[in-house]
Structure 1
Amino acid sequence: MKMLVRDVVSEISSRIGLGIVPGCEQNGLHRGIANLAALILEEEETSGSPDERRFQLESATIEENHAIVGAEDRIPMVSQNYGSLRRRGLNRRGAESPNNVSGSPPSVSPLSSSVILQREGAITQPASTPASPLSSLSSQITQLNLPSPEDCTQDPNWQATKSSVRERNAAMFNNHLMADVQFIVGSPGHTQPIPAHKYVLATGSSVFYAMFYGGLAENKKDIEVPDVEPAAFLTLLKYMYCDEIQLEADTVLATLYVAKKYIVPHLARACVNYLETSLTAKNACLLLSQSRLFEEPDLMQRCWEVIDAQAEMALRSDGFVDIDIHTLESVLSRETLNCKETHLWDAALRWASAECARRELEATPANQRRLLGPALNLIRLPAMSLEEFANGVAQTGILNPQETIDIFLHFTASSKPQLCYPIKPRQGLKTQVCHRFQSCAYRSNQWRYRGRCDSIQFSVDKRIFVVGFGLYGSSSGAADYNVKIELKRLGRVLSENNTKFFSDGSSNTFHVYFENPIQIEPECFYTASAILDGGELSYFGQEGMSEATIGSVNFQFQCSSESTNGTGVQGGQIPELIFYGPPTDD
């Protein structure tokens, strides 16, 4: 047997360029070849066929035309050829587990394994560093589009198909292969087992490191995570394994929670960015509640900007009834809300009815009052009109008789009683106006509306909320105008309103408003349009500016193809844009 091993060693050594080996223990490289030769000869004992033995020996060697520098580089290739013999069915011992897909023999010396690992480390550096998942984050997150992890590793030589560490890590995502921990994720009755690998998790999260390798680490195979949604947990793991972030509207809040729970700040930041870009009046109140919970001040500020400017829409949203009592109190006490107190009253009662349902209580006035508690006293009932109070609040049964009488006396009596409700109206947001003309013309060079469209395109560098437009009126005396105003983005109508205004014949501008403020995103062009019917002769603007700065907001203007009445950047109509924006210094 010893001579046979030596013969095989000599044959392999000569094939790979090492020359004839006088002994089998000269160095680690020769010992590795010797171990490999011994394994090949073990196969011969059961194969019996000389042709088959020759096939094994031929397959275990390396073709001389492989351009590989350094003898140690050849060891992994020999091992791979040995693995190919076993995969062809020449290993008849049947002792290997089907999960062993490495292709290396079970008794290869430690040196051979270390050389393979060294070789692996030398070739796995990616050709180019992948871009950070946060560098181009938007509502559509770039995906790696990998096949199923289990499918990726069905091929026994799957490692050879992955050219980078990222691809090999991605193949292990949600894969039972080599997994050393399993998470049972989800609430009882709705759990999902998710396999993982401790090393990968520990390198991506200090919480996981403490769980698996810290001083109080517990060596549990299954770990229950009842407070996390499976979809959100998989998003976390996908980021750790694949350096990829894939967010969806219905799971982004749960993903933010799990990113905070396991202290993965880059994923948490991506979630916040996603929420900020998808923030609207419909979800602002609910996101405000969540951002308070997650302690995200930037997201909270963005939510307040939307709620302040589009308060009526936010209060009517479905998500408003799902906020917590502390967020409700914050909304009701907000000084800068742009809405009537009747809207706040109606929203508070909607929330109270929903809270009764959550607590399985009948939505009676007494129960609603009890659940609202001190929040009710934040509504500024005396700031309503007498008609609004008498026809609405007074008839709900929420207030006790004495409160109702006192508020009526506040409206009507000269000696007003002391009230437990704030009296001063809310300040609301201050409107700002962007003037795009430096002067206007009249009489000798008059403008005619004629029912045609006046239109201009604009963009801003900060998020604002357009409230309405300023328009020129009649240049030949007082006149009434019917006007249709419209705001579009990429051809889609965001808002429109048919309204009227009275012109006193002066060169002043006259403001017309949309029913609700429209959110304007930065670095996008919007089209403002107006169609007027009335006195034909009017003032018009001239010396128009292509750029204008109001406070901290920079406007840019360009001509619109929809303008059929002559309005452009240099002159025409729509001289003003009225908006809510970041507060100015004054």
Structure 2
Amino acid sequence: MSQLTASPSASSLVQSDWGWQGRTAGIANRNKHLLATGEHSDIQFVVGRNRGTTQTFLAHKFVLSTGSQVFDRMFHGETPVQDNGSLDVPDATPEAFHNLLCYLYTDSVGNLNSHNVFDTLSCASKYKIQLLFDLCSDFIIASLNMDNCLTMLEKAEEVNAQRVIGKCLEILDASSAEILQSDRFLTVKKTTLDAVLRRSTLTADEFIVYTVAERWAKYACQVDKIPVSSKNRRAKLGRTLYFIRFPLMTDAQLANGPGETGLLTKDELCDVFRYKHAKTKRCIPFRAKPRSAPSRRAAPYRVPTQTPTG
């Protein structure tokens, strides 16, 4: 029985006519081709007007809609956006938006790095792509250390990246004395100062917590070019003052600390001393319970926003 075989020349001729679609293995690779070439695109994005550099990306509404609820509603919802074939994305960086498109087209991000990971995380949050949000969160968590945890914490709070926030706070709890006394802590936002000093799991001595609050308030006054008075320092601290557990400080620390600087009024100072030594404890506005060692049950500071929680 004879066996039918195709001649090499005939096979090459047929395959050359199959086009890139027939020669490209895997839907991810075919989508990658569409993203790179823009073939059959039906929407373009002008990205980065507010970020110093602008780039235009050609895309496909169907692909975007299958990967993002936001894009699906944007293009196919009850009131689809009037795009006229083009949409502005002014606040994203082109690099981060390209990472987002790569993920939607191929389920992978080839250019995620320390310079663009938070911008990519922000894009994932904006377009509600949970798996990309988680991937970025994992990348950040793997790079956390004592030197960068404050910066990462503040960036993570902006997009409510709860797992990143939690890991940053774990590092901060374990090394709170070193981190709180660093120059970087002087420049943290007020919300971050509150989030840190209110924690019951800090391992730093309470006198360090007090000293850090004093330094932060003094620096804030200097930045605003106002007198570094006790009144102005208290005003800068606001409710943060009541996160300092003054009853945990020794009498010498109280006398030589807030007793000398005037951060506490004379009445407040007397109330703290009386609370420490009187048999009958009167109610004071400062907590007296010792801060405990970090545990798995310690609740991280939560940012009240409606975004993914990677």
* TM-score category (smaller protein): 0.7 to 0.9
Sort the Cα spacing of 1:252 and 1:425 in 2 relative to 1 into closer, same or farther, 3 A: same
1:223 alignment partner, one of 73, 87, 93: 87
- In structure 2, the partner of 1:267 is 132
2:246 alignment partner, one of 377, 381, 384: 381
Contact 2:42 2:58 in 1 (8 A): yes
Instruction: Determine whether 1:66 maps to 2:14.
Output: no
| TM-score under structure 2 length normalisation | 0.74
Matches of 2:231 and 2:174, distance apart in 1: 33
Sort the Cα spacing of 1:368 and 1:120 in 2 relative to 1 into closer, same or farther, 3 A: same
Instruction: Determine whether 1:372 maps to 2:234.
Output: no
Instruction: Determine whether 1:427 maps to 2:289.
Output: no
Matches of 2:115 and 2:25, distance apart in 1: 36
Residue 268 (structure 1) shift: 0.8
Structure 1 residue runs of 5 or longer lacking an equivalent are: 1-62, 78-115, 131-163, 430-580
1:400 alignment partner, one of 265, 272, 286: 265
For the pair shown, which has the larger CA radius of gyration, 1 or 2?
A: 1
Matches of 2:273 and 2:235, distance apart in 1: 23
1:187 alignment partner, one of 23, 36, 50: 50
Residue 400 (structure 1) shift: 2.4
Matches of 1:415 and 1:223, distance apart in 2: 68
Per-residue deviation, residues 34-91 of structure 1 (Å, max 9, x unmatched): xxxxxxxxxxxxxxxxxxxxxxxxxxxxx9933269xxx58x74xxxxxxxxxxxxxx
Sort the Cα spacing of 1:422 and 1:227 in 2 relative to 1 into closer, same or farther, 3 A: same
Identity %: 28
Structure with bigger helix share is 2
Matches of 1:177 and 1:122, distance apart in 2: 17
Superposition RMSD in Å: 3.7
Residue 238 (structure 1) shift: 3.7
Structure with bigger strand share is 1
2:24 alignment partner, one of 104, 109, 124: 124
Matches of 2:64 and 2:225, distance apart in 1: 45
Structure 2 residue runs of 5 or longer lacking an equivalent are: 1-6, 298-310
Amino acid at match of 1:234: H
Contact 1:181 1:197 in 2 (8 A): yes
Amino acid at match of 2:58: A
Sort the Cα spacing of 1:410 and 1:213 in 2 relative to 1 into closer, same or farther, 3 A: closer
1:308 alignment partner, one of 150, 167, 173: 173
Contact 2:206 2:246 in 1 (8 A): yes
Contact 1:272 1:299 in 2 (8 A): yes
Aligned pairs (5 A) from 1:186-585: 186-187=49-50, 190-199=52-61, 200-215=63-78, 216-241=80-105, 243-317=108-182, 320-321=185-186, 323-353=188-218, 355=220, 360=224, 362=226, 364=228, 365-410=230-275, 418-429=283-294
Per-residue deviation, residues 512-559 of structure 1 (Å, max 9, x unmatched): xxxxxxxxxxxxxxxxxxxxxxxxxxxxxxxxxxxxxxxxxxxxxxxx
Residue 381 (structure 1) shift: 1.0
Matches of 1:361 and 1:202, distance apart in 2: 51
Matches of 1:344 and 1:267, distance apart in 2: 37
Amino acid at match of 2:197: L
Matches of 1:249 and 1:351, distance apart in 2: 28
Contact 1:283 1:314 in 2 (8 A): no
Residue 389 (structure 1) shift: 2.1
| TM-score under structure 1 length normalisation | 0.42
